[in-house]
Amino acid sequence: MSILPAPPSPIQLLDLAAEHAALQPALSEAVAEVMASAAFIQGPAVGQFAAELGGYLGGTHITPCANGTDALTLALMSLRLPAGAEIIIPAFTYVATLEAAALLGLKPVLVDALPDTFNIDPVAVDAALTPRTGAIVAVHLFGQCADLEALRAISTRHGIPLIEDNAQALGASFTFANGETAYAGTVGEVGTTSFFPSKNLGCLGDGGALITHDATRAALLHQLANHGQSRKYHHQHIGLNSRLDTLQAALLRVKLRQLPTNTAARQAVAARYDTALAAVPGISIPARDARSSHVFHQYTVQVKEAGRRDELQHFLKSCGVPTMIYYPLPVHAQPAYAYLGYQAGQFPMAERLCGAVLSLPIHPLLTAEQVDYVAQYVGEFFK
């Protein structure tokens, strides 16, 4: 291989400093306002942000909370399931999805992923149902909706609540066979999301929210996230202390205004990668589900030849291109979840994906030149 030129400008997986610099006056003003009000807990910005996010998602109830993992915990708590109820969860996901169920004394039941979209396999969900199934948790992985048509049908047919872990796909939408279009997170009984800084809508610390159409459930979620209290010092439920800081809410109000532009920028980066990488023989580009928009939290390719993924990652690193592996180990192979008793080989697709996936840099400020540079060296590797 020839001597490599340096990248057009340093390529990062994410450039939050630059994104925030562009919003600096508004962000600083938001912080100053909260400081002046000194209403750090449940200040007005929390409700204002919740209303604005609900509006963005087509008009739905939002319950802000402390982080995306708590959102999953609160969603499950709101279902009031008996101890040991089975929660169907994808084997190919971030560990938080599993953690919430396990901490509540519920039983995670894993099902395999689809080979092309990486999302939960609805046929496997159907096969995993038992009389003890308490909920199905779908994750809209990397920014594209899981098969909400099939999942909603299963949920309705069996009366099993669907929870959507929407930490990675805020703003994505899904069109059903009947022509109805809905935002990710608004289809099931409860949707959850995270404002971890690297998510598509990130705050400057930890944050999360729950999404529901049901006003009664929204009221319950508000209570559960705030010590189970109906009013101060009156506790109806055993709850959590899981509130979104006023400061984060104020910052999120500024960042939410930028989300549609940022999503379009991510989609443009993905489209450019698609064109540049479609003909590279050694990889497959992310599969698009025609029923879902894709907000490209990650742009994740699959390396076809077993064992070459790590080599590609090292090669790209030597060219100044950082990449990430989401996720290197399926959840059933994590020591913490050995107690569930799953064996290697039980979820072949999740296991294969963990060895094949590579997420390329994608963020709203990535330039066309940088995308071309990355694509060029991915192509170079397979020559």
Ligand X SMILES: *Cc1c(COP(=O)(O)O)cnc(C)c1O
- What does the block give as tokens for 24? 């600096």
**For residues 97 and 370, which CB has a smaller minimum distance to ligand X in the complex?**
97
Which residue is at the shortest CB distance from ligand X?
68
CA–CA distance, 244 with 205 (Å, rounded to integer): 10
Q: What residues from 67 to 86 belong to the interface with ligand X (CB under 6 A)?
A: 67-69
Q: E strands within the chain?
A: 61-65, 86-90, 107-111, 133-139, 162-165, 173-175, 181-183, 190-194, 208-212, 229-231, 234-235, 283-284, 299-303, 357-360
Site for ligand X in 31-60 (CB under 6 A): none
Q: Write down the least CB distance from residue 326 to ligand X, Å.
A: 8
Among 112, 121, 149, 165, binds ligand X (CB under 6 A): 165
Cα 90 to Cα 138: distance, rounded to the nearest angstrom: 7
Binding to ligand X in span 118-147, by CB under 6 A = 139
Q: How far is CA 244 from CA 9, 40, 62, 173, in A?
A: 36, 10, 12, 25
Q: How far is the CB of 64 from ligand X (least distance, A)?
A: 12
Give the bridge partners for 358, in sequence order.
301
Check binding of 167 to ligand X (CB under 6 A). yes
* H or E element in which residue 124 lies: helix 122-128
Quick one: which of 93, 155, 186, 263 contacts ligand X (CB under 6 A)? Answer: 93
# residues near ligand X by CB under 6 A: 15
Q: Which is nearer to ligand X, 85 or 96 (CB)?
A: 96
Q: What is the DSSP string of 358-375?
A: EEEP--TT--HHHHHHHH
* Residue 63 vs 370, nearer CB to ligand X: 63
Q: Which is nearer to ligand X, 135 or 319 (CB)?
A: 135
Q: Which residues bind ligand X (CB under 6 A)?
A: 67-69, 93-94, 96-97, 139, 165, 167-168, 194, 196, 206, 208
